[in-house]
Amino acid sequence: MIQNMPIDECPGGITSPQGFLAGARGCRIRRLTKDVAMIVSEVPAAAAAVFTQNKTQAAPITVSKSQLKKSPYCSAVIVNSGNANACTGERGLNDAWEMVRTTATALGIPEDQVVVSSTGVIGQYLPMERILPCIAALASEVTRDGGRDAAQAIMTTDTYAKEVAVTFSLGNSVVTIGAMAKGSGMIAPNMATMLGFVTTDAAISQPLLAKALHTANAKSFNRITVDGDMSTNDMVIILANGLAKNAPIAEHTEEYTLFVAALEYVLIKLAKMIARDGEGATKLIEINVIGGTTEDEAARVAGAVANSNLVKTAIHGRDANWGRIMAAVGYSGVDFDPEQVEIFFNDLPILGKNYAILLDEEKATQVLGEENIVITIHLNQGSWGARFWTCDLSKEYVHINASYRS
Amino acid sequence: MIQNMPIDECPGGITSPQGFLAGARGCRIRRLTKDVAMIVSEVPAAAAAVFTQNKTQAAPITVSKSQLKKSPYCSAVIVNSGNANACTGERGLNDAWEMVRTTATALGIPEDQVVVSSTGVIGQYLPMERILPCIAALASEVTRDGGRDAAQAIMTTDTYAKEVAVTFSLGNSVVTIGAMAKGSGMIAPNMATMLGFVTTDAAISQPLLAKALHTANAKSFNRITVDGDMSTNDMVIILANGLAKNAPIAEHTEEYTLFVAALEYVLIKLAKMIARDGEGATKLIEINVIGGTTEDEAARVAGAVANSNLVKTAIHGRDANWGRIMAAVGYSGVDFDPEQVEIFFNDLPILGKNYAILLDEEKATQVLGEENIVITIHLNQGSWGARFWTCDLSKEYVHINASYRS
């Protein structure tokens, strides 16, 4: 039971829901580890996705968007890490289509039921001579236990694989949602900001699935930032194959509300894992803005603070420099009265109304030494709130990104 | 002669124009170095300023705005470093007014002819018991040679004092513009992004002076970024005292064009110094966007690239990761055709149209080893361009900002 909701978290990931298989292989794209993953649904699944808003769009984004326009069903997803297949022009597009066709042929499914995704270095061509035989082999290797392998294969600079699964009851049926994600660098808000793959055995129509994904995505993956850099390759896709045999979820029902709550739980959990595992991160920082005039304004304030290099370096150094927080709130573009703002680090009051400095340096340093820090900013303007998740900015971030390609 | 313009750079700064005096004193606000500076014009000077757009506005910003509304003339500027007098409420406002009053009394000038400015840590009260006697003493210590001392006194994490002066002829008069600035951290575009003090002996009306400052500021201080964090205290002020005895500059004349060009030269030179001296910086990076549909769009693209942590860390590591540049161009919010983009590092072609990879890794690494790097991005959409200046992002930036207050 999660926060009084009839939702239970369970071990597992994308192969936890019924009828989903997965597998992974090392194809030496960039490293000697597993780098190609395949997800398969035993029956065609309703599919919905959100994609990066970056105008510089990788080939697999173009191809997958086109695929989901052609067919509301998807039976397989093929993903590679190590190479983003972005800024690769005609040849990159052909390569992405070739990955789709090879997957469809190997699995014996219609070509328009395959989606493709890539992550890694920009501006290099995929080693197709190594990838295509891998895909052919994977088609007969996917299993009900393959979720973990797939979660590992999509990692780039991630330091651990990111998986979540939850179950809940819909009528007499037990429904499962499973998911995996990768993040780490080039993480910014505004749409899907990394790769996320979600599977469920719930029966739900494609339009309603799309609606649920947009709702849950807005409060999870759209609310994280590592470095403010939006990627060319981001996508989050959800497949719902109906094998739980629940009565199809209808809009404006308790079942739909529960489904969205469960999906939001899964995506927020992954989003927080991504923020915590940001490149060089040592802490997960939640920016919790309350008392906003609208949710959008609260989110803009939270986003500005979460993106502030100065706030993130200060927290890295356990320095309770609340002035930098006030400065970021001030340039968020949102109208507010600075003298009404209150700031807390976890439960510790730092700043009161009328700039009352409540900060106890010793206690604050102690709180900032923790691994999970919630910075609450009360605007005292209205009753809307929004959360953002980010990480501290360390020398290690610079180290990783000064030599990513080498 | 600068770039075929009849403008000459000369040694000096704010006391180079006729009739300007300056001085500085150590008042132990935070350090044992000089930290309070005074600038005085022997006769009342027309004054114009631009201020931070941050809603969290420091007390000296509120006070100086009010002063310039009351009077178009200014005879003295009082500045301190080490403490921003921001987020200090009523008491902070009283302190800023007290600095103004003490300056006016000590100099024997009207109170509404004094402007005040502060920079440093946010959220601490000024040590008025040490500052006020300093101000009183400074009033009799300002000299025609004091520009350098003042430029040093306004530094925070700056590693060197920033001064520029130029001369040019207007009719039979020789006009001088002098300036000093401080920058280093919390540097973002959108209005005055640091402290800048400009003096000139040109005769020019206050409204026209304001117009010239806005024009020149838009292409200089509004085009630099170190960390994307907009400060609470930024201001740029210009004082014109008319002692060069030129015929007052009129709008739509060659003289006005020349004055703006000279002012722009001075401000761009300071802006580049600020970017180069960004916290932890080892390089000055110019983002030169050409082929844009409008100047505003070109500036948005340049700003997105200049603000990208990933681009800045890659350049720090001499990694020619042009994919990150394409990603930043893509999320700038500007419409463009990615396949039309060309990228150069200094004169070295990196990316051609249709994603033609022209990159010679060895040559690129050599270029990226230089201290001044121009990244030219040709959008091939129109004929407008814009430049932005920034610096690389190093571990030293994190080091400085993880412990700024300590």
For B190, counting Cβ atoms within 10 Å of its Cβ (0-12 exposed, 13-18 middle, 19+ buried), the class is middle
Distances (CA, A) of B323 to A88, B31, B141, B377: 10, 44, 55, 12
Task: Give the list of residues 6+ apart from residue B24 with CB closer than 8 angstroms, or none.
Answer: B34, B35, B36, B37, B38, B138, B146, B149, B150, B152, B153
| Secondary structure letter of residue B32 according to DSSP | S
| CA separation for the pair A245, A203 (Å, rounded) | 6
Average pLDDT over all residues of chain A: 90
Contact criterion met (CB below 8 Å) for B331 and A232: no
Q: Which of residues 310-329 of A touch B (CB under 8 A)?
A: 310, 313-314, 316-317, 319, 321-324, 326-329
Bigger pLDDT: A406 vs B289 = B289
Nearest CA in chain B to A334: B55
Pick from B89, B229, B355: CB nearest A328:
B229
Number of H helices, E strands in chain B: 11, 15
Asked if the C-beta of A51 comes within 8 angstroms of chain B's C-beta atoms, the answer is no
Determine the distance in angstroms separating the CA of B116 from the nearest CA of chain A, rounded to an integer: 20
Q: B329 to chain A: which residues are within 8 Å by CB? A: 55-56
pLDDT: which is higher, A280 or A189: A280
Q: What is the pLDDT of residues B87-96, one digit of tens each?
A: 899 999 999 9
Give residue-wise pLDDT tens across range A262-281.
Answer: 999 999 999 899 888 877 88
In angstroms, the separation between the Cα of residue B111 and the nearest Cα of chain A is: 27
Angle between helices B309-316 and B322-330 (to 10 degrees): 160
Active site residue A193: yes
Tokens 């001579």, located at residue? A129
The answer to whether the Cβ–Cβ distance between A310 and B229 falls below 8 Å is: yes
The CA-CA-CA angle for residues A138, A83, A240, to 5°, reads 50
Selecting from A190, A231, A339 the residue whose C-beta is nearest the C-beta of B89 gives A339
User: What integer pLDDT is reported at residue A157 of this predicted model?
Assistant: 78
CA pair distance A375, A311, nearest whole angstrom = 11
pLDDT value for A376: 97
Give the tens place of pLDDT for each residue, A190-219. 323 478 899 999 999 999 999 999 999 988
Whose CA is closest to A303, among A388, A376, A192, A373? Answer: A388
B309: nearest CA partner in chain A: A227
pLDDT average per 10 residues of sequence, chain B (406 residues): 80 96 94 92 96 86 96 96 90 98 98 95 92 97 97 89 95 95 62 74 96 92 71 86 96 95 94 85 93 94 89 89 88 90 95 92 92 96 93 81 60
Residue A156: per-residue pLDDT: 81
Query: Contact A196/A158 with Cβ under 8 angstroms?
Result: no
Report the predicted TM-score, pTM, of the whole model to 2 decimal places. Answer: 0.80
**What average pLDDT score do residues A23-36 get?**
91
Q: Do A87 and B321 touch (CB under 8 A)?
A: no
Task: Please answer yes or no on whether B55 and A397 come within 8 Å at the CB atom.
Answer: no
Range with lowest mean pLDDT among A87-101, A174-188, A238-252: A174-188
Of chain A, the percentage scoring pLDDT greater than 90 comes to 67
Confidence of residue A386 (pLDDT cuts 50, 70, 90): very high
CA distance linking residue B256 with residue B240, whole number of Å: 14
> Which residue among the candidates A102, A176, A193, A200 is catalytic per the annotation?
A193
Q: What SS3 class is residue B190?
A: coil
pLDDT of residue A188: 45
Q: Which amino acid is at B51?
A: F
Domains, chain A, ordered by start: 7-276 (3.60.70.12), 284-401 (3.10.20.340)
Angstrom distance (rounded) from CA B65 to CA A28: 62
Specify the amino acid at residue A51.
F
Q: Which residues of A are less than 8 Å from B307 in CB distance? A: 228
B218-222's contacts with Cβ under 8 Å and 24+ in sequence apart are: B219/B264, B219/B267, B219/B268, B219/B387, B220/B264, B220/B267, B220/B268, B220/B270, B220/B271, B221/B50, B221/B191, B221/B192, B221/B193, B221/B194, B221/B196, B221/B267, B221/B270, B221/B271, B221/B274, B222/B189, B222/B190, B222/B191, B222/B192, B222/B193
Summarize the confidence of residues A78-90 as an average pLDDT.
Answer: 92
> Which residues of chain A does B89 touch, with a Cβ-Cβ cutoff of 8 Å?
339, 354-355
Pairwise pLDDT comparison (B120 vs A68), residue with the higher score: A68
Percent of chain A's residues with pLDDT above 70: 94
What's the mean pLDDT in A328-334? 88
- Residue-wise pLDDT for A121-154, tens only, equals 888 899 999 999 999 999 999 999 999 999 999 9
Looking at the complex, report in whole angstroms how far the Cα of residue B350 sits from the nearest Cα belonging to chain A.
11
Check CB contact of A266 with chain B, cutoff 8 Å.
no
Q: Which helix (H) or strand (E) holds B75?
A: strand B73-80
ipTM for the complex shown = 0.72
Measured at the alpha carbon of residue A352, what is the angle toward residues A349 and A356, in degrees to the nearest 5?
115
Measuring CA to CA, which residue among B322, B393, B396 is closest to residue B361? Answer: B322
Q: Note whether B365 contacts A: Cβ–Cβ < 8 A.
A: no
Mutate: best of B87, B282, B336, B350, partner A, most A CBs <10 A: B87
